[in-house]
Amino acid sequence: MTADACCIETPTPRSGYRPCVGIFLLGPHGKVFVGRRRDTEVEAWQMPQGGIDPGESVQAAARRELREEVGTDRVALLRESPVWRSYDLPPEIAARMWEGRYRGQTQKWVALRFTGEDRDIRLDGPHPEFVAWRWVEPDELPGLVVPFKRCVYLSVVAEFRSLWA
């Protein structure tokens, strides 16, 4: 999938793709949380995301991922997307991630309002994924993420636009 390709939206998770939750964390002044990934040499920013465990609901997965990646789950639900968005990983990444079982990820996105304070955000958990974080304007998101996720971010920003605009 190229950077300008559109992500595939489906009513259910796609077979062959890892089921995940994506978190659009809306904070102060209509800005969104992004973290800079720890596991890459390039400067890659992204919204929190992570796998959905068997039997776990999307909203429970979102709260768990926030606790693990951001150090807090002081949030209120704004909206859960009705669609799953899927993207392919570049072949060299897909081959080494998750023992090559998945072509990419299929994500259910949730929009959450951050109800805490900046001091509640802690990136030093047991399995840190981010080395830095910041609040950004939602329209900046597609330009910050790695190219193979850009189509998903464009779609998510468009869907959740009414929450801050």
Q: What is the pLDDT of residues 68-108, one digit of tens each?
A: 999 999 999 999 999 999 999 988 888 888 888 999 999 99
What confidence score (pLDDT) does residue 98 get? 81
Task: Decide if 7 is inside a domain.
Answer: no
Angstrom CA distances, 30 to 80, 92, 113, 114, 139, stand at 18, 36, 9, 10, 11
Task: Decide if 8 is inside a domain.
Answer: no
Query: Domain containing 118: what range?
Result: 17-163
Q: What sign results for the dihedral spanned by CA atoms 135, 147, 60, 70?
A: negative
CATH number at residue 129: 3.90.79.10
Number of domains, the chain: 1
Task: Decide if 4 is inside a domain.
Answer: no
In the chain, the amino acid numbered 56 is E
Task: Decide if 79 is inside a domain.
Answer: yes
5 band by pLDDT with thresholds 50, 70 and 90? low
Task: Decide if 130 is inside a domain.
Answer: yes
Task: Decide if 138 is inside a domain.
Answer: yes
Tokens representing residue 11 in the block? 């009513």
In this predicted model, what pLDDT tens digit does every residue of 12-24 receive, in sequence order?
A: 999 999 999 999 9
pTM: 0.93
Task: Decide if 152 is inside a domain.
Answer: yes
Task: Decide if 2 is inside a domain.
Answer: no
What confidence score (pLDDT) does residue 160 get? 98
